């Protein structure tokens, strides 16, 4: 058996990651919708391992799995109480269980349990020992790649949630909930200045609690309460060393420390007139991390280099004992909706958010006794104002216009060396206009245009000691930007049996601010989507969809002081789906879905001031594909029981070179470090066959 105690984030494109997250959950239950008071029990089998598509659904390995789902509701009409039980995927690692009791309009409680797995799609062949503990030993000399132990990766979160509701009468209600989440496993890590394999042991608990009072009368609605969280990590420090235990080759790796937060809030609304309503929100929260920083007598977190001798170092006397981290957030918001004229509706909103970083400024000593590097404060305030109006025109047209203004005031570091440019203020204005048309009972559409512009104060460039040309970096989040976006939508039903939806989006960004700046220069995104549903007759339905997503960005970077590199980056995704379902006879239902996805990432690179040498290979393109076929048949054995069959075939491939080089050569951490290699199949296909017995009762 392999060890499933490590996790490494898969470097996948955003679109591919979103697709796999959506498609990868509970594949065996695709198409199964239980009626109330029914139970489904069965068995399924995947033909082979499916590391990529089994990341989240608890079925990474090939073989058999138990299938158990239930939806049970018991109601007592005389007392107005009911008891509900819902179970999903009880035979799998991503199981869920929900138990709820309620007396209508009076009191209620619920209990929820869910397990959330994440299996890493890679296999690590490594000689590192102590995986899953806070003490790691790196082999010395390093192993020959491929001669270590195969280790699979993964984490599991067990979540328990309890909720309570009570009506206190006269429009007053009380709600409370408590959640406890335990996360266990390991995550792939790194140590040292070179690519050296390490493992982060995960053993943490997150707790959340909230209590809310709500009050509602004819014109006034209020809601207020408390929300709190705690995070506790059982592990504080990981010590890694060569297997020879040479002190000079030991590293200390810090883990996330315990923290907690508290929030008090209130929001509400008041109906001044039948057509005018005001709303407000007020909240204050504080988050703190004040646990003692772990220390060691060996080099690691903070130490005094001048005190090193004999292969060991002492912690610096200047090192803080605790971060004493504190973040305070204040939120104030007021809104107004009104209808001053029969054809005119207006919405206005003001929002103020103050994020105050009150963590003490701490310095890190690298040489001598004087701190030279400091933590970066992250305080800022946001002020937002929004006004939107809708006017109904003749012939079922509506014209919408809106403006939104955001002003941000950010704290700029004034101690130590800064390494990227900063701006103290950022201002962004967004203008929106939209034309809506209700053409008929069968056709509706809208056309919207959004324009926004962002600028700010002068740049504070990096200080003395920064790298050459760093003052020309133009960070994406603070750069001047102009954005144009157009969106068109139409919903068309040319006949009772056919429905069509069309969507087209186009947006463009232009960045500026620094003269001859490095960073993203421009970007664009396009989306085309069509969705169709057709009812052949009362028994058969067909649906189909197609989406194309195009994203591009042009970037300027520096290869050397004399050479400038231009990157033309793009991602194109095509998704297609076709499905059919219906009745063969009074007892037999059948259906199927075909889904296909393909994304292509391109990294076109050119060099100004020089040419790429033969040793510099341009970054290869990455192509990801996914094909999935799902079929089901459900046969009614009698009035209370059915037999359901499921068949799923999936085929996935990738050209991602993050861990697997072209030609199938796995990434290796190097013969001079530890020799760990990362293995992944670039093509994976598997077939699932499942059968369920479904029983319905009163």
Give per-residue pLDDT as tens, 369-400.
Answer: 677 778 888 899 999 999 999 999 998 889 99
Higher-pLDDT residue of 252, 324: 324
Within a 13 Å sphere around the CA of 393, how many CA atoms are in the beta-carbon half?
Answer: 12
User: Is the previous residue joined to 554 through a cis bond, with omega within 30 degrees of 0?
Assistant: no
For 212, the token pair is: 């809310």
Give the per-residue pLDDT at 319. Answer: 67
Give the per-residue pLDDT at 316. Answer: 59
As a whole number, mean pLDDT of residues 647-672 equals: 85
Q: Which residues are 407's β-sheet partners? A: 383, 427
As a whole number, mean pLDDT of residues 692-696 equals: 96
Give the per-residue pLDDT at 214. Answer: 97
- Of 547, 630, 535, nearest in space to 590 by CA: 630
Residue 296, pLDDT > 80, answer no
Q: Which of 244-253, 404-413, 451-460, 687-696 has the lowest mean pLDDT?
A: 244-253
- Sequence-distant (≥ 6) Cβ neighbours of residue 684 within 8 angstroms: 49, 50, 51, 52, 53, 651, 652, 653
As a whole number, mean pLDDT of residues 11-19 equals: 38
Q: pLDDT (tens digit, 9 = 90+) per residue, 250-284?
A: 777 889 999 999 999 999 999 999 999 999 999 99
Spatial separation of the C-alpha atoms in residues 151 and 120, rounded to whole Å: 10
Q: pLDDT (tens digit, 9 = 90+) per residue, 534-552?
A: 999 999 999 999 999 999 9
**What is the helix, strand, coil percentage profile of the chain, to 5?**
5, 65, 35
Helix (H) or strand (E) holding 19: helix 14-23
For 638, the token pair is: 């009698």
Contact between 691 and 634 (Cβ < 8 Å): no
Give the per-residue pLDDT at 580. Answer: 96
Give the per-residue pLDDT at 191. Answer: 74
**Given the DSSP bridges, would you call strands 135-138 and 237-242 parallel, antiparallel or unpaired?**
parallel
Q: Which of 382-396, 447-461, 602-616 has the lowest mean pLDDT?
A: 602-616
Give the per-residue pLDDT at 422. Answer: 87
As a whole number, mean pLDDT of residues 576-600 equals: 95
Residue 433, pLDDT > 50, answer yes
Give the per-residue pLDDT at 298. Answer: 42
Tell me the pTM: 0.86
Give the per-residue pLDDT at 295. Answer: 65
Contact between 404 and 453 (Cβ < 8 Å): no
pLDDT band at 463 (very low <50, low <70, confident <90, very high): low
Spatial separation of the C-alpha atoms in residues 23 and 18, rounded to whole Å: 9
Average pLDDT of the chain?
A: 87
Higher-pLDDT residue of 678, 614: 678
Contact between 137 and 130 (Cβ < 8 Å): yes
For 162, the token pair is: 């309890």
How far lies 118's CA from each of 59, 202, 638, in Å?
10, 13, 40
pLDDT band at 323 (very low <50, low <70, confident <90, very high): confident
Q: b/e for 363-372, b at 16 or more Cβ within 10 A?
A: bbbeeeeebe
Contact between 500 and 470 (Cβ < 8 Å): no
Give the per-residue pLDDT at 2. Answer: 43
| C-alpha torsion sign, points 144, 148, 152, 157 | negative
Q: pLDDT (tens digit, 9 = 90+) per residue, 159-218?
A: 999 999 999 988 999 999 999 999 999 998 887 666 788 899 999 999 999 999 999 998
Give the per-residue pLDDT at 321. Answer: 78
Spatial separation of the C-alpha atoms in residues 316 and 314, rounded to whole Å: 6
Give the per-residue pLDDT at 368. Answer: 62
Q: Which of 34-43, 259-268, 290-299 has the lowest mean pLDDT?
A: 290-299
Within a 13 Å sphere around the CA of 313, how many CA atoms are in the beta-carbon half?
Answer: 21
Residue 310, pLDDT > 60, answer no
Instruction: Name the residue with tokens 């941000």.
Output: 408
How far lies 531's CA from each of 487, 490, 541, 575, in Å?
16, 11, 14, 12
- Determine if residue 639 is left, alpha or beta; phi over 0 gives left, psi from -120 to 50 gives alpha, anything else beta: alpha
Give the per-residue pLDDT at 666. Answer: 87
Q: How many CB atoms lie within 10 A of CB 227?
A: 17
Residue 141, pLDDT > 60, answer yes
Give the per-residue pLDDT at 311. Answer: 41
Give the per-residue pLDDT at 297. Answer: 45
| C-alpha torsion sign, points 183, 185, 188, 190 | positive
pLDDT band at 471 (very low <50, low <70, confident <90, very high): confident
Residue 59 carries which DSSP code? -
- Of 399, 402, 450, 452, nearest in space to 427 by CA: 452
Give the per-residue pLDDT at 5. Answer: 33
Residue 629, pLDDT > 80, answer yes
Residue 114, pLDDT > 90, answer yes
Three-state DSSP at 386 gives strand
pLDDT-above-90 percentage for the chain:
62
The residues spanned by each domain of the chain are 293-321, 328-503
Residue 14, pLDDT > 60, answer no
Spatial separation of the C-alpha atoms in residues 247 and 303, rounded to whole Å: 15
Q: How many CB atoms lie within 10 A of CB 159?
A: 16
Residue 43, pLDDT > 50, answer yes
Spatial separation of the C-alpha atoms in residues 301 and 676, rounded to whole Å: 25
Residue 660 carries which DSSP code? E
Q: Which of 73-87, 295-309, 383-397, 595-609 has the lowest mean pLDDT?
A: 295-309
- Of 537, 550, 628, nearest in space to 582 by CA: 537
């Amino acid at each position: 058996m392999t060890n499933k105690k490590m996790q490494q984030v898969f470097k996948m494109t955003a679109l591919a990651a979103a697709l796999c997250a959506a498609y990868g959950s509970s594949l065996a239950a695709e198409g199964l919708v239980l009626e109330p008071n029914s139970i489904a029990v069965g068995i399924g089998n995947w033909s082979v391992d499916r590391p990529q598509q089994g990341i989240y659904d608890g079925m990474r390995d090939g073989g058999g799995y138990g299938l158990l789902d239930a939806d049970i509701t018991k109601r007592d009409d005389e007392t107005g109480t009911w008891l509900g039980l819902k179970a999903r995927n009880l035979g799998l690692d991503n199981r869920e269980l929900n138990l709820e009791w309620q007396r209508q309009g009076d009191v209620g409680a619920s209990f929820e349990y869910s397990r959330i797995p994440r299996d890493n799609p890679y296999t690590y062949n490594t000689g590192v020992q102590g995986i899953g503990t806070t003490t790691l030993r790196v082999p010395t000399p390093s192993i020959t790649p491929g001669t270590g132990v195969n280790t699979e990766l993964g984490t599991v979160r067990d979540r328990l949630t309890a909720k309570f509701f009570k009506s206190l009468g006269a429009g007053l209600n009380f709600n409370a909930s408590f959640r406890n989440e335990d996360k266990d496993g390991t995550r792939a890590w790194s140590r040292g200045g070179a690519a050296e394999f390490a493992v982060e042991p995960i053993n943490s608990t997150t707790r959340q609690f909230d209590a809310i009072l709500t009050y509602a009368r004819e014109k006034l609605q209020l809601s207020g309460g408390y929300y709190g969280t705690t995070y506790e990590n059982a592990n504080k420090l990981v010590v890694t060393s060569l297997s020879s235990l040479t002190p000079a080759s030991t590293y200390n790796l810090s883990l996330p420390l315990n923290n907690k937060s508290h929030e008090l809030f209130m929001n509400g609304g008041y109906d001044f007139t039948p057509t005018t309503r005001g709303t407000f929100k007020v909240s204050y929260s504080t988050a703190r991390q004040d646990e003692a920083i772990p220390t060691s007598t060996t080099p690691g977190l903070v130490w005094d280099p001048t005190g090193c001798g004999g292969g060991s170092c002492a912690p610096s006397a200047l090192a803080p004992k605790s971060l004493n981290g504190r973040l305070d957030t204040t939120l104030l918001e007021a809104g107004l909706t009104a209808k001053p004229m029969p054809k005119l509706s207006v919405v206005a909103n003001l929002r103020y958010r103050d994020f105050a970083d009150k963590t003490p400024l701490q310095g890190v000593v690298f040489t001598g006794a004087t701190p030279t590097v400091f933590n970066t404060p992250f305080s800022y305030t946001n002020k937002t104002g929004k006004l939107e109006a809708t006017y109904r025109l003749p012939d079922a047209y509506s014209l919408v216009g809106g403006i939104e203004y955001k002003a941000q005031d950010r704290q700029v570091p004034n101690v130590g060396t800064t390494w990227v440019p900063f701006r103290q203020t950022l201002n962004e204005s967004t203008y929106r206009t939209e034309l809506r048309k209700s053409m008929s009972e069968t056709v509706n559409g809208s056309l919207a245009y959004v324009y926004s512009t962002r600028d700010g104060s002068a740049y504070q460039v990096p200080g003395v000691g920064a790298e050459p040309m760093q003052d020309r970096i133009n960070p994406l989040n603070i750069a001047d930007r102009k954005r144009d976006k157009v969106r068109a939508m139409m919903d068309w039903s040319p006949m009772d049996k056919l429905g069509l939806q069309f969507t087209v989006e186009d947006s463009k960004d232009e960045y500026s601010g620094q003269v001859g700046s490095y960073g993203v220069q421009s970007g664009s995104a396009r989306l085309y989507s069509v969705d169709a549903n057709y009812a052949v007759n009362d028994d058969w339905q067909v649906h189909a969809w197609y989406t194309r997503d195009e994203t591009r960005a042009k970037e300027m970077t520096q290869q050397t002081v004399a050479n400038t590199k231009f990157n033309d980056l793009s991602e194109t995704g095509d998704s297609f789906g076709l499905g059919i379902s219906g009745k063969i006879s009074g007892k037999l239902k059948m259906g199927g879905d075909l889904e296909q996805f393909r994304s292509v990432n391109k990294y076109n690179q050119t060099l100004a001031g020089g040419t790429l040498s033969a040793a510099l290979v341009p970054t290869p393109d990455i192509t990801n594909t996914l094909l999935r076929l799902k079929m089901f048949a459900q046969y009614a054995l009698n009035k209370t029981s059915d037999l359901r069959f499921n068949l799923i075939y999936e085929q996935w491939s990738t050209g991602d070179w993050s861990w697997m080089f072209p030609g199938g050569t796995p990434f290796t951490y190097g013969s001079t470090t530890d020799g760990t290699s990362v293995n992944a199949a670039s093509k994976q296909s598997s077939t699932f066959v499942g059968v369920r017995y479904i029983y319905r009762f009163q």
